[in-house]
Amino acid sequence: MKRLGGPAGAALACCLASTATAGEIETGGKLLLTHGVSALEGGAGGGLATWAVIAGAETNRGVGGEVHGTYVDVKDYKLRAFGGAVGWHDRLELSATRQEFDTGATGAKLGLGKGFTFKQTVLGAKVRILGDAVYAQDSWVPQVSVGAQYKDNSQDAIVRAVGAKDDKGVDVYVAATKLLLSQSLVLNGAVRMTKANQTGLLGFGGVNGGYKPQFEGSAGYLLSKRLVIGAEYRTKPSNLAFAKEDDWVDLFAAYAVNKHLSVTAAYVDLGDIATFKNQRGFYLSLQAGF
Amino acid sequence: MRKTFVLAAIAAFTLVGSAFAQDATPPGEKPVDPYTPSPANAGAAPLTDPAAFQAFHGKEGLTRIAGDLVDRSIADPRIKDIFATTDVPRLKRTLAEQFCYVLGGGCVYSGRDMAAVHKDMGVTNRDFNALVENLQWAMDKEGVPFAVQGKLLAKLAPMQRKVVER
């Protein structure tokens, strides 16, 4: 197909792709929800927590991907995130996400100005290193992936002013995912080495320290092949002197409308954020993919 | 009339020819190359909880599920080519036996092992998953609750390692 050029070539390529033969790149093929949904930081996961699955509906012979838009509305803040991820051969995942943390009226109380918005770009890479979460039902070995996220906060002066050491940081993590088909359960655990304050939205490091291991866990129950409900827990460091940072909890439901579209809704409790207490509210995320 | 007789004679001769491999080729099925039947060929140890087998409506329910699964798959544009030369009656029968065996229904699985059956078919993960989707459809049609469907899928999922070639 490389020899063909121009619009005619592109048109032909589009139609040949639907009748892929050996050696060509395939798309699709995974079972519903077996690639998770989009986590807040852009990779495949459950919402707040990271999973070991690779984004996209591709199998070991193809390429997949998804785009997502996420909206979180808690008492004093709003968070918008949007981005995308590509999966290659169900082995490698690359993701990019933009997060906007809108302080709204709270911004004025924090002395940042009404409607002040923290912004952050997260670039992620994840590699599946062993196991298969779906097929290996005769073994306790989970699917295990390792990943890294490079986070760049665009408000360096502000995050330094609140006591963070850096406006950029790298998280590294190991994640394990196991689907227990005979119990209709999906279990996830991840350990993340991070110095990010509120995932990096409030910078990285601080007087209380730098890199610390944090845990992310989630458990889901499959009500049908389209619907999973569950809970997540994510521990957080507390590096900043001016405000304590709490662990995050959510109760979620993820629904696959079809092979290309899924919706995740959750009730989230993000605890105290920047001295404002009990940040509870809802989380809504839409994913479209192939 | 005579033509029918000749065909029947040929069929009978073929049956006799294969009688050394298997005791008898079941009616409506084609003869197969010799192999040693074994419960291990089913590819999974049976469940011990009888509740799941009942939720599949026993051997009759599993026979309907296997039949629907095969009918849907041989018409499925994603995977129908794989079944082009398949002995459909035999596949339906052995699949029902396999499902019944692994669900602890006490059936005898008389088919070949998964690696031998799928050798050189070039089955991909995509094909395997398409078959799983068709099985989910057939189980839904039979009215098997989703949580119980998982018990059968959990038994079949590890067979991916024997079935998928590329």
Domain ranges across chain A: 37-289
Q: Which of A60, A91, A182 to mutate to test the interface with B (most CBs of B within 10 A)?
A: A182
- Give the pLDDT band of residue B4 (cuts 50, 70, 90): low
CA distance B165 to B124: 6
Instruction: Indicate whether B145 pLDDT > 50.
Output: yes
Phi, psi of A17 (to 5 degrees): -60, -30
Tokens 């849907």, located at residue: B72
Tokens 């996420």, located at residue: A70
Instruction: Indicate whether B19 pLDDT > 50.
Output: no
Which pLDDT value is given to residue A168?
Answer: 96
Pairwise pLDDT comparison (A220 vs B6), residue with the higher score = A220
Tokens encoding A96? 């990019």
Which pLDDT value is given to residue B8?
Answer: 53
Q: Which of A246, A36, A231 is nearest to A133 (CA)?
A: A36
Which pLDDT value is given to residue B20?
Answer: 44
Please indicate whether, in this complex, the C-beta atoms of B155 and A137 are within 8 angstroms of each other: yes
Pairwise pLDDT comparison (B18 vs A153), residue with the higher score = A153
User: What is this structure's pTM?
Assistant: 0.89
Residues of A with CB under 8 A from a CB of B: 22, 26, 28-31, 59-62, 90, 132, 134-139, 180-184, 222-225
Q: Which of A41, A241, A195, A201 is nearest to A117 (CA)?
A: A201
- Give the pLDDT band of residue B16 (cuts 50, 70, 90): very low
Vertex A51 angle, CA A246 and A34, to 5°: 140
Q: Which of A137, A140, A180 to mutate to test the interface with B (most CBs of B within 10 A)?
A: A137
pLDDT per residue as tens digits for the range B31-79 = 999 999 999 999 999 999 899 999 999 999 999 999 999 999 999 999 9
Please indicate whether, in this complex, the C-beta atoms of B125 and A134 are within 8 angstroms of each other: no
Cβ A85 vs Cβ A95: under 8 Å: yes
Tokens encoding A170? 């790298």
Pairwise pLDDT comparison (A7 vs B97), residue with the higher score = B97
CA distances from B157 to A18, B1, B18, B41, B162 (A): 27, 50, 33, 15, 10
Please indicate whether, in this complex, the C-beta atoms of A59 and B132 are within 8 angstroms of each other: no
CA distance B126 to B82: 12
CA distance A277 to A271: 6
Distant-in-sequence, close-in-space partners of A155: CB < 8 Å, separation ≥ 6: A118, A119, A167
Please indicate whether, in this complex, the C-beta atoms of B126 and A26 are within 8 angstroms of each other: yes
A26 DSSP β-pair partners: A62
Nearest CB to B129 within list A30, A132, A223 = A30
The DSSP code for A20 is: -
Query: Low-confidence residues of chain A, pLDDT below 50?
Result: 1-5, 8-20
Which pLDDT value is given to residue A128?
Answer: 98
Taking domain A37-289, whether its CATH number is 3.30.43.10 is answered by: no
Please indicate whether, in this complex, the C-beta atoms of B146 and A136 are within 8 angstroms of each other: no
Which pLDDT value is given to residue B6?
Answer: 52
Residue in chain A nearest B49 by alpha carbon: A182
Which pLDDT value is given to residue A3?
Answer: 45
